Structure 1
Amino acid sequence: MSKAMRWIGGPIMALSVVGAAAWAGAGQEPVASRVRPVQALDVSRYQGTWYEIARYPNFFERKCVGDVTATYEPQADGTLRVLNRCRKEDGTEDIAVGIGRPDVKGGSTARFKVTFVPKWLEWVPWLYANYWIVVLDDDYHYAAIGEPSREYLWVLSRTPKLDDNTLYQIHAKLRKQGYDTDKLVLTPQKAAQAAAQ
């Protein structure tokens, strides 16, 4: 099994891990769902590197102890190249490379389907997971990534740290969409903070 399959990392969920069970409900959102992606996304402003500030604990990042980043690079065919990095307990870096495809259902440009499977498997639809930008700062300074089931959640920032007031505002917006913000775990960003000093 490749590194990319062992660690999906950052704000990405790979349906290849959950298999056929996830496929059974693919594309179906609960009628009463309050999870809504932001309506408009400027990909040119969203591209680049984001620091993971907090996340719901998940299987994909079980080996990541800090310094988690996600880098997005628009491609000529309209897809996004996704590069996730994290620091493991032994100090080594884990890297996963994936692809994001726009999913414009519901009229939002902030919905993507993302996968980290090998290129020869990218045609399989159930190997893609929902990647919804559910909170986005007007200046593209911070964002929150989720999906319809509310099982996964990430808070991202352009800087390795957010002040308490900004975090409070993000939490309030997430709670309005039904997320339990008490489940969020802060991500240490020691390397980036040390480099900034």
Structure 2
Amino acid sequence: MLATAITVGLSAPAAAAPPAPVPQLELDRYLGTWHQLAAIPQYFNLICARDTRAEYDLDAAGDVSVRNTCTTWGGTLNEIRGTATVNDPDTRAQLHVSFPGVPTQDTRYGPTNYIVTALGADYSWALVTDPYRLSGFVLSRTPELDPGQWDQVRTAIIAAGEDSCLYLTSPTTGGLQSIAPLCSSPART
């Protein structure tokens, strides 16, 4: 999901360089609907029980409009809308995401807090983190990845300097139904 990296109790090494973005993000191909299949838990998505999705489109200013939705533990729809602004014109893979009215996330323009660090060659999946590696999201165009794609995702997580055991699978209709560390989940081949 497009979100900032605020996690209580975790800290990144002070000397660690931010993870590298993909060499070139084709923003037009990145727009559309993404299913969250795994994530490092964040305070803002603890309400989400299943079917967490992000929908990205261009807005009138040329930025990315963000609509994040999920089904809550009570079975209702949860939704938040925001904006993502490209901060890196060379790769277009580093953005600042904001959500109006949300403390610490309500400034439209600011430092990078969303880095696309890996992509499936066909844009079928993406790995997103932040400069401090406190957040992480495995996104997919479909509710399910095949075993080879999951292997690529785990390799990308390690390459980004993260631990796949910190990622928990996200229940998705048509995909995995349980919450488990990605390093030991049914997605593990």
Could you tell me which residue of structure 2 aligns to residue 98 of structure 1?
82
AA in 2 matched with 1:86: C
Following TM superposition, by how much is the alpha carbon of 1:30 offset from its aligned partner in structure 2, in angstroms? 5.9
Give distance in 2, aligned partners of 1:74 and 1:95: 18
SS of 1:60 mapped into structure 2: helix
Change (3 A) 1:93 1:123: closer
Could you tell me which residue of structure 1 aligns to residue 97 of structure 2?
114
Change (3 A) 1:91 1:168: same
**Worse-matched range after superposition: 67-76 or 33-42:** 33-42
Could you tell me which residue of structure 2 aligns to residue 7 of structure 1?
none
**Which of 109, 117, 127 is the equivalent residue of 1:134?**
117
Could you tell me which residue of structure 2 aligns to residue 163 of structure 1?
146
Q: What is the CA deviation profile of residues 76-123 of structure 1, one whole-angstrom value per residue up to 9, with x for unaligned ones?
A: 322000000000011100000000111017x321111000014xx965
Is the CA contact (8 Å cut-off) linking 2:94 and 2:112 kept in structure 1? no
Q: Determine if the alignment matches structure 1 residue 85 to structure 2 residue 76.
A: no
AA in 2 matched with 1:150: R
Matched length: 169
Could you tell me which residue of structure 2 aligns to residue 143 of structure 1?
126
Change (3 A) 1:93 1:129: farther
Q: Determine if the alignment matches structure 1 residue 75 to structure 2 residue 66.
A: no
Q: Determine if the alignment matches structure 1 residue 188 to structure 2 residue 179.
A: no
For the aligned residues, what is the CA RMSD?
Answer: 2.6
Aligned residues: percent identity?
Answer: 29
Q: Which structure's relative contact order is higher, taking Cα pairs within 8 Å and 6+ residues apart?
A: 1
AA in 1 matched with 2:123: Y
Following TM superposition, by how much is the alpha carbon of 1:31 offset from its aligned partner in structure 2, in angstroms? 5.5
The answer to which structure has the higher helix fraction is: 1
Q: What is the CA deviation profile of residues 37-84 of structure 1, one whole-angstrom value per residue up to 9, with x for unaligned ones?
A: 112111111111000010001101111010000000012322000000
Give distance in 2, aligned partners of 1:98 and 1:34: 24
**Which of 127, 135, 146 is the equivalent residue of 1:152?**
135
Change (3 A) 1:90 1:143: same
Instruction: In structure 1, list runs of 5 or more residues that go unmatched.
Output: 1-9, 19-28
Following TM superposition, by how much is the alpha carbon of 1:177 offset from its aligned partner in structure 2, in angstroms? 1.9
Give distance in 2, aligned partners of 1:132 and 1:108: 10
Give distance in 1, aligned partners of 2:45 and 2:149: 25
Give distance in 1, aligned partners of 2:26 and 2:60: 15
Following TM superposition, by how much is the alpha carbon of 1:183 offset from its aligned partner in structure 2, in angstroms? 1.0
Q: TM-score, normalised by structure 2?
A: 0.80
Q: TM-score, normalised by structure 1?
A: 0.77
Could you tell me which residue of structure 1 aligns to residue 156 of structure 2?
173
